Amino acid sequence: MINLKRHLSKYKSLYEASKATGIHAQQLARWIKAGALIDKDGQVWIKSKGRLPVNGEQVLSVRLEKMEEGK
């Protein structure tokens, strides 16, 4: 997989990349800010903010913790 920012560096601006890809410039900016990756098929991958328990760990996402607190 390749970093989206690196992939789009061949364009002079996000606007130009937007025109070439058909994806709105604001969406491209959000993906870049999130550290998005692109696979060989062009699928965009973004790391989730939440985590699941791994190997018995008791790790909860921020959203689940807030739900438990009743917020």
Model pLDDT for residues 13-55, shown as the tens digit of each residue: 999 999 999 999 999 999 999 999 999 999 999 988 777 766 6
Query: Count of CB atoms within 10 A of residue 28's CB?
Result: 21
Q: Which domains, and CATH codes, for the chain? A: 2-69 (3.30.240)
Q: Is 70 helix (H, G, I), strand (E, B) or coil?
A: coil
Instruction: Specify the pLDDT at position 57.
Output: 58
